[in-house]
Homo-oligomer: A and B are copies of this chain.
């Protein structure tokens, strides 16, 4: 049962992974003002994340629930990357080639990564 997260759901999860445990309000406040949605919008996303078993309620503070992640960032990233690579036929190499081509990645980045992964 792989969990699929939408773009917005992922954003919420990122915040939750950072905070470890948070209320709807705290998460909403953590979103950049420019794109901060209505409180109930964040609430709706939490409801969906609960349904997807991506988060769960832990306790209550005042009359607000706190939530915590049920899935790791790593597992989600793995899935995202796999799906993305599938779009390109499953191979990472051409994607990285394109990253270099577009300047998203430099030779220095590559070397650093090589170093790091060698250890």
Contacts and interface: CB of A to CB of B under 8 A. Distances in A.
Interface of A: 7, 10, 77-78, 80-82, 84-85, 87-88, 92-93, 95-102, 104-105, 107, 109-114, 116-118
Nearest to A118: B107
Given A7-B87, A87-B10, A87-B80, A113 B100 contact: yes
Per assembly, the copies of the chain total: 2
B97 A113 contact: yes
A100 B117 contact: yes
Contacts of A117: 97, 100-101, 107, 110
Contacts of A113: 93, 96-97, 100, 110
